[in-house]
Copies of this chain bind each other. A is one copy, B any other.
Amino acid sequence: MSVVITGTPRVPLETARAFTPYGVATVHEAQGRTGLLASCMRPIYPGAKLVGTAVTVSLPPADNWMLHVAVEQCREGDVLVVAPTSPCDVGYFGDLLATSLASRGVVGLIIEAGVRDVSTLSEMKFPVWSKAVSAQGTVKETLGSVNIAIVCAGQFIHPGDLIVADDDGVVVVPAAWAAKTAEAAKAREANEGEKREKLASGALGLDMYKMREPLAKAGLKYVD
């Protein structure tokens, strides 16, 4: 049942690039509030941000053999997305693997487990979102799979899907929705800039969003 799927199609690089200006919250809203990974997935340094196409890895608890296999399947613009088959917080990934991925143009790592060497990874500006930081290493004894569909931090992720991550967390954009979501994010963002200006100059959301009437209808009372 261990398999490496080669030649997986990805969301095209131009489509991926269209997401660069948008944060995770915007993208998540833009695709109807779907695709957000669990909030236990935190960046290893503040300000980390990435947009990339998923190379997926399913591997056993405390065994990182398949990460070495996965490296070879990665190319420019990819992000490695890793989930163990049972919950595990040990450090699957460190600076050597990051060096290897960076040399291939991989933009970062999403792992529902632990990582180590986080000082070096931060200096390298190799962004990682993980569930834990742990110096505990892994063995290389048991196989897993690369580029099969996986569940990572509660979301279903196919190889080639688009991943957007920042300080707010991680969202997956299914390949088939990428173009449409990029457009929706663009529309939403334009909109936000305008709202931000109005609010900064003192306008109230109550008026801007015309909430006073529905609030009164729902029964809100003001009491002095």
Q: Name A's B-contacting residues (CB within 8 A).
A: 1-7, 23-25, 28-29, 32-34, 36, 38-39, 42, 45-47, 49, 60-63, 65, 68-69, 71-72, 85-91, 94-97, 99-100, 102-104, 114, 116-120, 122, 132-137, 139-143, 149, 151, 154-156, 166-169, 171, 192, 195-196, 199-206, 209, 211, 215, 218-224
Contacts and interface: CB of A to CB of B under 8 A. Distances in A.
Given A6-B224, A62-B86, A132-B39, A25 B117 contact: yes
A155 B65 CA distance: 23
Contacts of A1: 32, 34
B135 A24 contact: yes
Contacts of A29: 137
Contacts of A141: 139, 141-142
A111 to B, nearest CB: 14
Contacts of A154: 151, 154
Given A90-B86, A168-B119, A151 B143 contact: no
Contacts of A45: 46
B116 A88 contact: no
Given A4-B220, A99-B200, A223-B5, A135 B171 contact: yes
- Quickly give the copy total for this chain: 6
Given A65-B215, A100-B205, A211-B65, A39 B134 contact: yes
Given A2-B221, A103-B199, A156-B151, A205 B68 contact: yes
Contacts of A68: 204-206, 209, 211
A100 B222 contact: no
B6 A39 contact: no
Given A6-B222, A45-B46, A199 B137 contact: no
6 contacts: A6-B222, A42-B133, A45-B46, A68-B209, A85-B136, A122-B167
Contact of A139 (B60, B100, B202, B219): B60
A153 to B, nearest CB: 8
Nearest to A58: B34
A85 B33 contact: yes
Contacts of A195: 96
